[in-house]
Amino acid sequence: MQEIAKEYDHRLVETKWIERWDDSLYYFDWKSDKPPYIIDTPPPYPTGSFHIGNALNWCYIDFIARFKRMQGYNVMFPQGWDCHGLPTEVKVEELHGITKNEVDREVFRELCRKLTSENIKKMRETMKRLGLSIDWSNEYITMDPSYYRKTQVSFVRMYENGLIYRDNHPVNWCPRCKTAIAFAEVEYETRETSLNYIHFEGVDIATTRPELIPACVAVAVNPEDERFRDLIGLEVGVPLFNYRVPVIADDEVDPCFGTGIVMICTFGDKQDVRWWKEHGLPLRRAIDRDGLMTGIAGKYAGMEIERVRDAIIKDLKEEGLIYKEERIEQNVGVCWRCKTPIEILSEKQWFVRIEHEKVLDAAAKIRWHPDYMMVRLKNWVESMEWDWCISRQRLFGTPIPVWYCKRCGEVLVATEDELPLDPTVDAPKRACSCGSLEFEGEEDVLDTWMDSSISALAVGGWLEDVFIYPTQLRPQGHDIIRTWAFYTILRSIALTGMIPWEEIVINGMVLGEDGHKMSKSRNNITAPEEVMGKYGADAFRQWAAIGGSTGSDIMFRWKDIVAASRFLQKLWSILRFSLIHLDKDKAPYERPQKLSTVDKWLLARLNELIESVTADMQSYSFDEAMKEIRSFAWNTLADDYIELVKSRLYAEDSNGRESALYTLYTTMDTLSRLIAPFMPFFAEEMHSYLNEGSVHAREWPRVDRDLLDEESIEKGELVRRIVEAVRRYKSENKIPLNAPLRRVEIYTSVDLDLEDIKGALKSEVELVNPDTTLEMKAVGIKPRMDVIGPTYRKEARKVADAIERLDPEEVERVISDGGKVEIEVDGKLISLDSSSFEIEMGFESRGERVDILEVSGVKIAVMR
């Protein structure tokens, strides 16, 4: 007998196991003969805060990792950190009161590295509190030279294969962040703006971007628009700036928008870029990298975009050139980070060539969960018109390993043996083809997605002694399908010709209790640390598992956390009861030669649970698995089985005690393993009272098909329902559940083991041949006051008393013969028909009155 506290203390248990667990239990063995299961874990951006969306995703990953490990796989659950990027630069500037241009380049980068390292340390602590089985021996940090060497090697190889190039090309540009961004980093917002109707010389146009008039290179009309056919090929004057542009025809012009004539600028949007390329139009750059007007804007040069818009509108109005304004809504492309409207500038940048069909073919070979998520990738790839711009005008990023010859301008790309390097610090080891040894290093850095898009390669051992590829799993959110998933597939095909992973599992976003996406502005953010502080990591992990199906958005609700905490307490109570009877020194308990009916039933139900939970885990249906475990533990085990076998467990001389002990031990041991992926702390604590060693080193339970016996299930279910029916009967009749009944008769031909029924009901129980006839007879008479009252008024109570004194059987005989019943009240005879009372019919067994219950076609006679 082992004593444990009555109340479950998550703080005590979780702290204990965090201190005791050895991380090496989860290390990947590169030399193992076990089948590998490598997870391409998302490398989060090290903000210092492991937010609830991260925590949900990492719980999913841990469920899979622990399950696969217990199934005998050699699992790698690595942890990476995607370090580079603009947010860290902005935070460093804020913390130190500097700008990146005020200090030495390397000093600023070192400040970024220091902040990143501090943030990683904070996030590691949250991960450990969550009970994640991370393989810290395979941690990678993208700002470390050992990692970004691989990024640079990938750049060099793709350049040599013609998949990376440098060119002048329109790019999305954030004037506030002062860097190029990829289309995947452009978000769209609906904003209200003015559509301005403006007189050009000879035509009228309508535009929402009057500040781009100095960048106008043509006006366009639809060739089918009869209003403007005569204008095609002519030139018109541009207001305020006094130069002329051609009128061209293009089918893409919408005759119904504005005036039906479109101003083409370089560049207002992607459509402008298409027209510019298709019609070979000149380039007029009106906006520079800082978001200021250039010299071609004349007197407006040097002005910010918002100011110049107002100034140009004012001047147009003063000259009578704006004749109409109307408010409209439009989708505006904004920077993913600062939400500033992006501009499209023609810049010399580095690009990755997009091979659309190869990406789609590779994506089709990957198993997607849910499968409909692949449509998002397909739609994104098919919508892409430009190659991926990979150069960024920042400091904290992987250096582009390129130099430019100062004499001839030739591009010199580093060789692999020179890597890793920083071209602004390191010189090339060879001369330019022109003979010069003077070079200027590339100051731009790579897009951070260039680092994270080789994560699958990196964890698989690319460029190392052992390379295991493709990896088995990519878990990620649906919000980065068009970035991380897309870029990883693209780069894997380019560098290896193989898919990066066999499967991809997509998780949804976390919504606040108000049903909206969590955000500071809505004040609906909940931190994982807050939840774990109040209710523990295992409660949080249960919420993650049971909150919704894979791929769906999940609402965070405190009531779900409370429910999870209650389940932990229920499990603890079950464990506490079990430990009164189980002895760890006797574990594992041997199976006796004979198992009782109820024990066979529970073991059959347990094996059904193993089968269904295993299938759920294999299909990533964590919500279904967790619901089934809860239902089994709370209802089948606690409410039914334990109540049925208590008497056997407490009776030292019971013939069936060994059977009950074996069944209870087997069930508790199996449960500890089934809950291990979801509730690692509780599972370890539970297991420690039952067995030696860690539950996380045990095998996943296997189905014993010999125990999936339909006859045992049917018999056990009948016993359970009989006991349930009689207990309900007691409750309805206000009989204490522990009070014995005089006798219970069960009318069935099924050979039931009555020991547990007797113990649970604390009553004598007999099996009776179902062909035995139960005699039905009148057992009582109930006066109907609704009839007697109005008829006999003051004498009604006396009439009712007289009716109740009658012999029920005699009354039933008289009424059946069509007669009336006579009673005497105050010396007067009163004749009553059957409308004045109700005859209560009942059953008798062996001359005693019994109440009859019925369960699954089986009659139960209860004698109080």
DSSP code per residue over 780-798: EEEE-HHHHHHHHGGGHHH
Instruction: Assign 776 to helix, strand or coil.
Output: strand
Q: Is 280 left (phi over 0), alpha (psi -120 to 50) or beta?
A: left
Given a cut of 90, whether residue 69 has pLDDT beyond it is yes
Give ∠ CA 300-303-307 in degrees, rounded to 5.
Answer: 100
- Binding-site members for ATP are 520
Q: What is the pLDDT of residue 386?
A: 87
Instruction: Give residue 344's pLDDT band: very low, low, confident or very high (50, 70, 90).
Output: confident
Given a cut of 90, whether residue 172 has pLDDT beyond it is no
282 prior amide bond cis, ω within 30 = no
Q: What is the pLDDT of residue 58?
A: 96
- Binding-site members are 520
Q: What is the pLDDT of residue 75?
A: 98
Q: What is the pLDDT of residue 321?
A: 96
DSSP β-ladder status, 445-446 and 367-369: unpaired
Q: What pLDDT, in 10s, does the model give residues 627-646?
A: 999 999 999 999 999 999 99
Give the phi and the psi of residue 201 in degrees, each rounded to 5.
-75, 105
Q: Which class for 728: exposed (0-12), middle (13-18), buried (19 or more C-beta within 10 A)?
A: exposed
Separation of alpha carbons 28 and 139, rounded Å: 11
Average pLDDT of the residues of the chain:
93
Terminal-residue alpha carbon distance, the chain: 37
Please write down the long-range contacts of 378-387, taking CB distance under 8 Å and 24 or more positions apart. Answer: 380/184, 380/481, 380/482, 380/486, 381/354, 381/356, 381/486, 382/356, 384/183, 384/354, 384/356, 385/270, 385/274, 386/169, 386/170, 386/183, 386/354, 387/169, 387/351, 387/352, 387/353, 387/354
Distances (CA, A) of 728 to 455, 731, 734, 768: 60, 5, 10, 22
Q: What is the average pLDDT across 495-523?
A: 90
Residue carrying the six token digits 């007691």: 730
Q: What is the pLDDT of residue 412?
A: 97
Separation of alpha carbons 386 and 108, rounded Å: 33
Closest CA to 57 of 547, 560, 687: 547
Q: What is the average pLDDT across 286-310?
A: 93
Separation of alpha carbons 737 and 772, rounded Å: 29
Q: What is the average pLDDT across 614-629?
A: 97
Given a cut of 80, whether residue 519 has pLDDT beyond it is no
Please tell me the least confidently modeled range out of 123-132, 184-193, 206-215, 357-366: 184-193
Q: What is the pLDDT of residue 90?
A: 87
Decide: 598 and 713 in contact? Cβ < 8 Å. no
> Using H for helix, E for strand and C for coil, what is the string for 496-515?
HCCCCEEEEEEECCEECCCC
Instruction: Give residue 499's pLDDT band: very low, low, confident or very high (50, 70, 90).
Output: very high
- How far is CA 678 from its chain centroid? 14
Decide: 317 and 324 in contact? Cβ < 8 Å. no
Given a cut of 80, whether residue 183 has pLDDT beyond it is no
Closest CA to 79 of 121, 20, 113, 111: 121
Separation of alpha carbons 478 and 480, rounded Å: 5
Separation of alpha carbons 77 and 319, rounded Å: 68
Decide: 99 and 107 in contact? Cβ < 8 Å. no
Q: What is the pLDDT of residue 347?
A: 85
Q: Which amino acid is at 681?
A: F
267 prior amide bond cis, ω within 30 = yes
Domains and CATH numbers, the chain: 179-345 (3.90.740.10), 557-708 (1.10.730.10), 775-863 (3.30.720.200)
Both structure tokens of 522: 């809505």
Q: What is the average pLDDT across 65-78?
A: 98
DSSP β-ladder status, 848-855 and 858-863: antiparallel
Both structure tokens of 355: 């091979």
752 HSE (CA, 13 A, CB side): 29
Q: Facing residues of 831 across strands?
A: 822
Both structure tokens of 551: 């791929």
Q: Facing residues of 248 across strands?
A: 220
Closest CA to 188 of 269, 86, 263: 269
**Which residues touch 496 (CB under 8 Å, ≥6 apart)?**
457, 462, 469
Separation of alpha carbons 74 and 72, rounded Å: 7
Q: What is the pLDDT of residue 778?
A: 85
Q: Facing residues of 326 across strands?
A: 195
Decide: 690 and 817 in contact? Cβ < 8 Å. no
Q: What is the pLDDT of residue 304?
A: 93
738 HSE (CA, 13 A, CB side): 2
Residue carrying the six token digits 């409308």: 835
To the question of pTM greater than 0.75 for the whole model, the response is yes
**Which residues touch 318 (CB under 8 Å, ≥6 apart)?**
none
The DSSP letter of residue 327 is E
| pLDDT above 70 coverage of the chain, percent | 100
Q: Which amino acid is at 676?
A: A
Closest CA to 470 of 483, 455, 482: 455
Q: What is the pLDDT of residue 338?
A: 81
Q: What is the average pLDDT across 394-406?
A: 96
Lateral strand order in the sheet of 501-507: 367-369, 501-507, 471-477
Please tell me the least confidently modeled range out of 238-252, 470-484, 798-812, 842-856: 842-856
Decide: 493 and 154 in contact? Cβ < 8 Å. no
Q: Residue 601 is inside which H or E element, if any?
A: helix 597-618
Give the phi and the psi of residue 525 in degrees, each rounded to 5.
-85, 135
Please tell me the least confidently modeled range out of 6-10, 360-364, 382-386: 382-386
313 HSE (CA, 13 A, CB side): 17
Q: What is the average pLDDT across 252-271?
A: 94
Given a cut of 90, whether residue 843 has pLDDT beyond it is no
Lateral strand order in the sheet of 262-265: 235-238, 243-249, 216-221, 262-265
Q: What is the pLDDT of residue 720?
A: 95
**Which residues touch 774 (CB under 8 Å, ≥6 apart)?**
747, 843, 844, 845, 850, 852, 859, 861
Residue carrying the six token digits 């069935």: 748
Residue carrying the six token digits 């502005």: 521
User: Helix-strand-coil percent breakdown of the chain, rounded to 5?
Assistant: 45, 20, 35
Q: Residue 429 is inside which H or E element, if any?
A: none
